[in-house]
Amino acid sequence: MNLVIGDHIKFTLPKFTGGSFSFSGGRRRSRGGTHVGDESFSGRIERDWYDSNDRHWFSIRLDDSRVKRVQGKNLYPAVTSHEPGDQHAEAASEKYTRKQIGY
């Protein structure tokens, strides 16, 4: 599966409440978060990019008009339904080229 701009996806992510974050010694740590279940989302991929550490990110316009940003390593295993967009082949080719160049 190759997710690109224009694809419509449905995915489920775990939901946590409580807990706290600390930045001890320059490292981000989480404590005490409680898993309260899973939350399902549905929307169209608006943007994908690679950050300076080579992590793949997606910006998804949800069906209720909110925007959710999800890291690729968390999104790919969570996808339950994938409908390729009209320009899927061209977008996949462009994404591969962009990754090789380093954008």
Residue 49 and residue 70 in contact, taking contact as beta carbons nearer than 8 Å: no
pLDDT of residue 19: 78
d(CA 21, CA 13) in angstroms, rounded, equals 20
Sign of CA dihedral 63, 81, 76, 96: negative
pTM, two decimal places: 0.76
d(CA 70, CA 85) in angstroms, rounded, equals 19
| Predicted confidence (pLDDT) per residue in 41-89, tens digit | 999 999 988 888 888 899 999 999 999 999 999 999 999 999 987 776 7
pLDDT of residue 9: 95
